Structure formats: structure tokens, C-alpha cells
Structure 1
């Protein structure tokens, strides 16, 4: 069995690799060529364990992500949300690899936003806004920088000091992009100038003013993943010209910022595409520079498993990782 840590994976697997893999994974999903059961949740005395399996037909890629949520872990010097991705050998059924699941989750979640932004944002987009500076924020920022040549990215968080520190840290981390990364002191103004908006929070209220969004903007809703959470303003969901989801089954069941507008009959389920539809048929993507486009993701195990196996194969080729 090959053990791959975050540091191992960072040596050779790029955000571009992940974006390409996510596009292919969601195309396979939309074509109906995979089995993705509902995740299994176990409530335990000190936390919760979640099991997320997937099987990709044809290639017989099988794997499972195991995620635990144990709030008291930091007191023990351990992460509160430990995760691992286990891959099975298609030929023998044996576990052939174990990957750092926290890193894989961050990577594939940033990449799926990058895939949507690549397919939907204007080609000449230069200004972006990132709302939220939590654990997913770094990969979200990297994905936007990877798919568009951005001149400016405004960074906002309700925790002002955290946002300022994040902006400073990212200036160093992503200096090679030559993008002006700065703390947003006036979110409404930055939203009104943005070509791309990415919100990655667990907020129960909308995170920006939809009335400030200009024509031609692309919006990503990444963080809200329960019916109680709402990042994206309802008027944006209503007036978006193209509405895209990672998976309809997941978003319609879990994302409050999409569920509520449907229940209020502002939009219907028929008004949405899956990202896999756009990968299969690029003509469904943006048709002009005035359209407002919207992407919503809640995640799916097919992303973890497909990208996990891709990482495993590349690591074997390069001789990276530790065998047990």
C-alpha cells in the first residue's frame, strides 16, 4: 500500500492537473457511468464519522473517503476534521493507496471551482473577489489564479484581522502570479467591479449584495452545503443566465441557497445544468460577455475517488510516497 502525504502530493500534482481531473470526473458522473451511494454518517460520543464511497465504471476505479468531525481534537494536538482517501486496486480489490484526505478535499474543491470558472467566466476577466478565508480558501484562490490572468483579487472575511493576515500570506505564496491580492475594505465596491466572485463560507445568511453584481460576472458558491446555509443571494440565483451545479442530486438535497429559490418558485430544477453537461457540450457555456453565470458545488465522492486514483498513478510513475 502506498502512503501519500500532503507534502508528497504537492511535489508533483498541480492545480491544473486537478482541474482537468475534476472536469473528467463530473463528465463521467453526468453520463451515468459511476455509482455514488449516499454518504453514511455515524454519530459517536465525541464526534461524527462520514463514509463516502464511489465506483467509476469501465475503469473500475473504486475508493472511499473517510472523514471524521471531532471538535475536541485540537485539545489533543490533532485536527478537528481528519480525513483519508483509500483507493482499491482494480485488479485485486486490495487497498493500494491511502492519501491525505484533508489535502485531497481542499485540492478537488478548489479545482471544481476552477473548472467552472474556466468554463463560465469571461476570457478577459481580470478582477475577482474571494469571500471567506477558512481552510478551503487557499485552493479556491489558487484555482481562480490558475484559470484566468487576474490583475486584482479582493479578499474579505467577517474576521478582519484574519482576512488581512490571509491576504499578506497569499501575496508571498502566490507571488509568481503577479496579481494584486488585497484585503477588501469596501466589499460592495469590490463586488461591483468583480468579474469573478467566489464565496467559500458556512454562512447562514448571504455573503454579498446581489444588487451590486455587474453584467458578465461569474459567481461561485462553494461553502454552503446544508439546507440552513445561504451564501448566494436569491436575486442572483433568479437572474443568472446560466446556472450550473456539480451534481443536481447533491445540490438539490443539501444547498440552502439553491433549495430556497426553487421552493419560492423563483427558479425551477429544470433551469440548472450539471458541470458535466458543459464539459460534454461546450456550446452550453457562456455565449456573450453580458451574461451572469452561477456555479454551485456541495461536493461528491466521485471527485475524491477519481482525483485520488489519478494522484496514485502519477505517484507510482514518479516513485513518490512510502510503501507499507
Structure 2
């Protein structure tokens, strides 16, 4: 029978560190052409929009649909999973926490492969919900990290985040932007990270803007990058304002943008030197929801968590 899992169930079953190898495995199946994805589509509704994204993972034997509403600033997410062997409904999962975890885990995979060797500092620009899983996953993936610096438009929010997670509060955004690994996790439509803040060898994980009209990175970030990669080129062409605008301005070519799964699988090289600046542009793709959803269901079955429908 299909299983219903709540937000609390998901939170009890999987941590950011648990999610990193799950998403790394997903990238490997994408590289092996075992996964087909449908980019996010948004439908305008009164007060917001309704979004749908989907994927079939033949290597995992699962397909899934993630849908969510954004109405007057409130979000509600659900993932629906199907078994490809017989077409049966496997689970319905409340998916706000699931989405937070899989997004953090993707940055963890990027940091594991693309952070400079011996990276010791992580800068977070943004101190909200998404920043928490970014921190947890990257800490798990890069054990050499010693220092975390957090910046937010609201100092009180940065201070609360720092107290909860053992971080320092940046005196200015450039302090976070000068770390070995820099994460932008904001809702800003205008750049929050400047290229002249970056130190040689930095890895930038830009995860907050998934709208062609929004950017977290200024053009100098892209200009200084030796390697620019993304989660899906098909999706990036539709949603990544951070890449769309530099391409339109002639400062980047889509042929220069790599997909992270090819680096995970060893099909393409990643960082070439310790001084390279690397950018990972993450929009969030449905195969991650399917992969992590399947892992959550597996653990729920083992631990008798959830409600059978």
C-alpha cells in the first residue's frame, strides 16, 4: 500500500549528511543516461503560482512528480512516487524538508568534488531555511572546514543562525564572499555576491535564484570563473538568470557551461588548479526529489514510520 510521510517524518529519517551520497548516486545515474527529467513549469494563479516538475529514474526503478503552490508567500510541497516495475503508487511525501535536504546535498556533492583541496572556510550569504541544509551537507562533504561565516540583510537573523550552528557573523557581505566555499542562498532578485570579493581558489554554490529575471551573482563572478557548471543545462537555459544574462551579454557561452553529473562520473575534469574559481549554479531538479524520496521511503519502511493509505 502507498505510504504517506509528513514533514516531521522526513525530518526524522534523513539528515543533510545522509542526503549527500544519495544525491551523488543520482548524479551518477544521470550520467549513465538512466534518468529523464522534466524541467519545472510554473502556472500563474491568483496570489502566486503552481509549479510542477518530474523525473523517471530507471536505474532506481522509480518515477516521481513534485508539485507545489506559492500563494501569498506561503509554500506547500508534495512528491508523488511510483514504482516503475508495476506502475504502482509508492508514496506521497510532504516535501518542503525533502527539497531543502536535496538542495543542500547537491551543493555538498559539488563541494566534495570542486572545493579546493584543504578548504577551511565556508561563507553563507543568506541565513534562512535553505542555508541550514547547505551548511550541514557541505560540512559533511568537506571535513577540512574549520570556519563558517554567515551574512544576512538582517543582522539579528545572522546572529541567531550563527548561535544555532556554530558560525561567525560577517561584519560585511564581503567577509562571507572571501571564503574558500561561498554559498548564496537568498530570495534576492539582484546580485548579492560580487566577483571582486572572491579569493583565488573559491568555489561558489549559487542556489537561491531559479528565475530568469533574478540573479545572485554579478557578472564579474562569471567572468572570473575558470569552470561554470550547473545541475541541468536544459533547466538552466530556462531558469538561471545568473547564466542567462551573462550569455546574452556575450560574457559566457552555453558551450562553456558543464553539467555537474559529467564531473561526478569522471567524464569531464573539474577543478584544474588550486587557484581556479569554480561556480556551481543549482536550480533544483526533480531527479533529486525522486532519489531522496525513495531513500526516505526505504527508511520509513524499515522503521515503521508514516501512515499507509
Greater Cα shift, 147-156 or 37-46: 37-46
The answer for the alignment partner of 1:257 in structure 2 is 242
Who is 2:42 aligned against?
A: 41
What's the secondary structure of 1:122's corresponding residue? coil
The answer on 1:165 being equivalent to 2:151 is: no
The residue number in structure 2 matching 1:243 is: 228
1:30 CA drift (Å): 3.8
Match of 1:52 in 2: 53
**3-state SS of the aligned residue for 1:43?**
strand
Deviations 1:230-275 (A, max 9, x none): 1112112122112111111111221111111111111211112111
Cα distance in structure 1, aligned partners of 2:212 and 2:154: 24
Residues 66 and 83 in structure 1, CA contact (< 8 A), matched pair in contact too: yes
Q: 2:217 aligns with which of 225, 229, 232?
A: 232
Partner of 1:147 in structure 2? 141
2-side partners of 1:58 and 1:115: how far apart?
A: 19
Q: Distance in 1 between matches of 2:87 and 2:176?
A: 51
Q: Mark the CA change 1:157 to 1:95 in structure 2 (over 3 Å): closer, same or farther.
A: same
Alpha-carbon distance between aligned partners in 1 of 2:247 and 2:85, rounded to the nearest angstrom: 44
The equivalent of 1:75 in structure 2 is none
Which residue of the partner structure matches residue 127 of structure 1? 121
TM-score scaled to structure 2, two decimals?
A: 0.92
Aligned residues: 307
Q: TM-score, normalised on structure 1?
A: 0.88
Q: Does 1:203 align with 2:188?
A: yes
Change (3 A) 1:41 1:204: closer
Structure 1 position 291, deviation (Å): 1.1
How far residue 145 of structure 1 moved from its aligned partner, in angstroms, is: 1.4
For the structure 1 residues 56 and 211, does the alpha-carbon distance in structure 2 shift closer, same or farther, using more than 3 Å as the test? same
1:108 and 2:93 matched: no
SS in 2 for 1:284: coil
Q: What 5-or-longer segments of structure 1 have no aligned partner?
A: 73-79, 172-180
- Gap change, CA 1:258 and 1:133, over 3 Å in 2: same
> 1:129-162: per-residue Cα shift (whole Å, max 9, x none)?
1001222111111122111232111111112222
Cα shift at 1:220: 0.8
How far the C-alpha of 1:190 sits from its partner, in A, is 4.2
In the TM superposition, what is the alpha-carbon distance from 1:58 to its structure 2 partner?
Answer: 4.5
Choose from 83, 88, 91 the match for 2:82: 88
User: In 2, distance between residues paired with 1:277 and 1:219?
Assistant: 18
The Cα of 1:40 is off from its aligned counterpart by 4.1
What's the secondary structure of 2:129's corresponding residue? coil
Normalized per residue, which structure has more strand? 2
* In 2: Cα distance, 1:210 partner to 1:53 partner: 34
**Distance (Å, rounded) in 1 between the aligned partners of 2:119 and 2:59:** 38
- The 3 A distance-change label for structure 1 pair 60 and 213 is same
Contact 1:242 1:286 in 2 (8 A): yes
Q: Distance in 2 between matches of 1:206 and 1:100?
A: 31
3-state SS of 1:216 partner: coil
What RMSD over aligned residues (CA atoms) do the two structures have, in Å? 1.9
Q: Which whole-Å CA distance do the structure 2 matches of 1:70 and 1:25 have between them?
A: 31
Partner of 1:323: 308
In terms of mean alpha carbon deviation, does 214-223 or 282-291 score higher? Answer: 282-291
1:240 and 1:121 map into 2 onto residues whose CA distance is 13
Output the CA distance in 1 between the equivalents of 2:141 and 2:38: 31
Could you tell me how far 1:46 is from its partner in structure 2? Answer: 4.6
* Equivalent in the alignment of 1:178: none
CA contact (8 A) 2:120 2:145 kept: yes
SS of the counterpart of 2:237?
helix
